[in-house]
Structure 1
Amino acid sequence: MLTSISRPWQLLVLSAHTDSALKTATVNLADYLRQHRDFNLADVAHTLQREQQAFKHRRMVVCRDIEDAIAALEDPRRFLTNIQETKERPVAFMFPGLGTHYVNMAWELYQVEPVFRDRVDYCCEFLKLLLDRDLRDVIYPHRGSQQDQQLPQENSQGLDLRKMLGRSQTQTDAKIVAATSLLNQTHLAQPAIFVIEYALAQLLISWGIGPVAMIGYSIGEYVAATLAGVLSLEEGLTLIAARAQMIQKLPGGAMLAVPLSQTEISPLLNDKLSLSAVNGPSMRVIAGETNAIEALEQQLTKKGLACRRLETSHAFHSHMMEGATSDLRELVKTFNLQPPKIPYISNVTGTWITAASATNPDYWVKHLCQPVLFAPGMQELWKKLYPILLEVGPGQTLGSFALQCIENNPAVSQIILPSLRYSYDKKPDLAFLLKTLGRLWLAGVQIDWARFYAHERPHPIPLPAYLF
């Protein structure tokens, strides 16, 4: 097991009664750090977080050490500022499904965040017998070797364009290639997504960021159901592993994202093509037999429609899943399903899950075969709670869907936040997550700083009153 490593990135927060006072505090802090370059940045960050009163004019910056902090405080491009006018906003968790997963997702968090690592380790140990392999060897192929022990040191803002465009590096590590091939297999991809999202949710909850509601996308609903107590963790892991293995044995299929409304799409559906997902007002996914999908793609492309084939081995959430329904129902019957303790949105109905549905094995069979009604679900979540939407998993796909589902509001994009980078984003995982933590604080979310430092021992330092 890896030993705990002190966080290589820190979150500095400042607040003041007025904008001018905030600007003064920023200049004063940079000057003070310039005079005390021997300070430990974790001590500075901890003192600012614990001893400052949180006023409505707020500023945050993520940095690496004292020198980086001085530079960041003097560069308006590095820090974020907000005026927190309203009362504290609720936070809703969004759990993505397959598609944005990648080898080494959240690797830095696994190295430096004990809560995250412990949850991943527990889940993977439990899954060993079910999967006949250690899932950590697939997600983190260099775990335990020197090659990947180095934490990212650059505060890179760049993107790996080759990865973004789906092109591999000319000299890609053979171990990564092999692990990627494995991770893209349904019977491993689904449990891997579940484990990473569950562990990430537990890390956020340990920092005091608890969801008032949740919405998952396909596999993501299983994470929501487990956090809500419908399934125990062990039942959730057992179900997701068995479900993925059942799907792996089914005939292959294909999926196509199409820019069509419900009225436009209905005439296209038949016994070979099913509606698989509703992602936005005019964003749907059709799934079915590969030949039928290929013919549909050609048909729609000729009409000038921008369709996109999804990288998938099967036709998820379609009639082609029906071969697994009997075995899935029998397995779920063995579980002690409980009413949800945290409200979440159902993919099947596009509205709030009910205790009757969540505890009925037939519901989970429907979830396997019926379309993911994400767009109506997001609209229902939004109109009831108007929450900060936090995507708990790799990438920002659900955030982009949510933007299209919610009324056109310039402020909305500021409260749809990611937690893990896309695979092609070069930013270090921890810096990426701390920036989101800072943005939550800017929006008025209360962070439990004591629990945030539960595995570190920072020392308060005397910050003079003139700083603020």
Structure 2
Amino acid sequence: MSASRAERLPVVLLLPGQGAQHRRMAVELYGQEAVFTAVLDEFFECMGTEGAALRDDWLADPPDLDIDDASRAQPLLFALGYALGRSLESQGIRPAALLGHSVGELAAAALAGVFGLRDAARLMRERAVATADVPAGGMLATAASVEELRPYLHSDAGVDGVVVGARNGPRQTVLAGPEPQLSSVEKLLRHHGVSCRRVAARQPFHSPAMVNAVGRFESAFAAMELRPPRVPIWSTATGACLRREEATDPAFWAWQLAKPVRFWPALDALLKSGDFLLAETGPGQGLSMLARLHPRVRQGHCEVVPLMSPGAAGALRVHRAAVTRMKQNIP
């Protein structure tokens, strides 16, 4: 790809979800990037007492509570993705589209104006309450395709309650389900030589085990005004561009707790529509690694730029270098 061609690529923000979190993620930016800091402070204030505790825990070294628990990880992942997006906007970087993984799709919705920040803070509180009584479980990342995993999920050798929770790539499939069923599948896969590892999650998101949480979460959406997005959102719930009727439907958002994430189909559909600079707008570089597997990226038609370092160290340096690169796209 020539430099002149790269400079003209429209920007798409990739917003990560559960599993991307790590201790002191993006802490180096807090107090150094003005808009990022102000937006985070506004979000924490909107969350009230829980927001103050969340901020203190995020900034603590080490955190007082388990960063992998959804009650901590998901509000922080939402807040960081949203604050980074607003910070980019303040510097003239306006995305052509948004694509969020799981709770990252809620950050995309807020950035696109489907709901406001105060409503988003309420959603994060209600999401934590709705999922508090979900059975213990988790998620298992595998180096296998959906087809390769079917014998372990839909036959006599399979284990009830464990399903495909996310399609992240052609051979990057995440399983989800309650315990002890998930551990049984993990043991079975390892016995047959299938590489797998646990996702940093304590709950069985994107599986039927979450169904009882859907109703309460839907009530939170029903209590607010939902608007069509001002920026196209490529939904990982459907694998396609979000439609107006979906964006304004409380059930559409609530059922994302229990339905699988279709990150790869959504990314594939997006990249078939044009060439883009894909900017991972959140902690870590997990979505960047997945995006680099896509043929359009490997062939040089699209570029991938993570805004964060893989760990806590070097986050500010990597962020500022990425912003400099993205500013080259501004006319």
In the TM superposition, residue 311 of structure 1 has moved relative to its aligned partner by 2.4
Measured in 1, the distance between the counterparts of 2:295 and 2:125 equals: 34
The C-alpha deviation readout for 1:139-183, integer Å capped at 9, x for no partner, is 112xxxxxxxxxxxxxxxxxxxxxxxxxxxxxxxxxx2343x343
The C-alpha deviation readout for 1:54-83, integer Å capped at 9, x for no partner, is xxxxxxxxxxxxxxxxxxxxxxxxxxxx73
Equivalence for 1:165: none
- Distance (Å, rounded) in 2 between the aligned partners of 1:416 and 1:339: 28
Aligned partner of 1:418 in structure 2 is: 306
Which residue of structure 2 aligns with residue 36 of structure 1? none
Q: Is it true that 1:295 corresponds to 2:215 in the alignment?
A: no
Post-superposition CA distance 1:393-421 (Å, at most 9, x none): 011100111122344634267x2011111
Equivalent position amino acid for 2:101 in 1: Y
Which of 263, 269, 281 lines up with 1:380 in the alignment?
269
- Cα distance in 2 between the residues matched to 1:123 and 1:369: 26
User: How many angstroms apart in 1 are the aligned matches of 2:237 and 2:153?
Assistant: 19
Question: Which 4+ runs in 1 deviate beyond 6 A?
Answer: none
Q: Which residue of 101, 110, 113 maps to 2:21?
A: 101
The residue correspondences of 1:140-289 to structure 2 (distance < 5 A) are: 140-141=59-60, 176-179=61-64, 181-269=65-153, 271-289=160-178
From 36, 44, 47, the equivalent of 1:127 is 47
Partners of 2:108 and 2:211 in 1: how far apart? Answer: 24
Q: CA deviation at 1:138?
A: 1.0
| Residue identity in the other structure for 2:226 | L
User: Would the aligned equivalents of 2:146 and 2:164 in 1 still touch at CA under 8 Å?
Assistant: no
Whole-Å separation in 1 of the counterparts to 2:185 and 2:36: 43
Q: Report % sequence identity.
A: 31
CA spacing shift, 1:88–1:203, aligned 2, 3 Å: same
Give CA-to-partner distance per residue, 1:266-298, whole Å, 9 cap, x none: 333354111100000111111112222222122
Q: Secondary structure at the match of 1:111?
A: coil
Q: Which moved more, 1:279-288 or 1:242-251?
A: 242-251
How far, CA to CA, are the matches of 1:140 and 1:132 in structure 2? 12
Residues 347 and 367 in structure 1, CA contact (< 8 A), matched pair in contact too: no
Q: Quick check: which has more Rg, 1 or 2? A: 1
Structure 1 residue 343: deviation in Å?
0.3
Alpha-carbon RMSD: 2.1
TM-score (norm 2): 0.92
Q: Is the 8 A contact 2:291 2:297 kept in 1?
A: no
Q: How many angstroms apart in 1 are the aligned matches of 2:255 and 2:323? A: 36
Residue 96 of structure 1 deviates from its aligned partner by 0.3
Which residue of 2 is the match for residue 159 of structure 1? Answer: none
Residue identity opposite 2:201 in structure 1? T
Tell me the distance in 2 between the aligned counterparts of 1:372 and 1:243: 17
1:193-230 deviation line (CA, Å, top 9, x unaligned): 11111111111111111111010000100000011111
1:263 aligned counterpart, secondary structure: helix
The one-letter code sitting in structure 1 at the alignment partner of 2:75 is P
**Other-structure match for 2:322:** 436
| Distance of 2:262 and 2:177 partners within structure 1 | 17
| Counterpart pick for 1:400 among 282, 285, 289 | 289
Q: Evaluate the alpha carbon distance shift between residue 107 and residue 86 of structure 1 in structure 2; reply closer, same or farther with a 3 A threshold.
A: closer
State which of 208, 225, 235 in structure 2 corresponds to 1:346: 235
Counterpart Cα distance in 1 of 2:5 and 2:276: 15
CA–CA separation in structure 1 for the residues paired with 2:282 and 2:324: 18
**Kept after mapping to 2: 8 A contact 1:287/1:316:** yes
Q: Give unmatched runs, 5+ long, in structure 2.
A: 155-159
What is the aligned residue count? 326
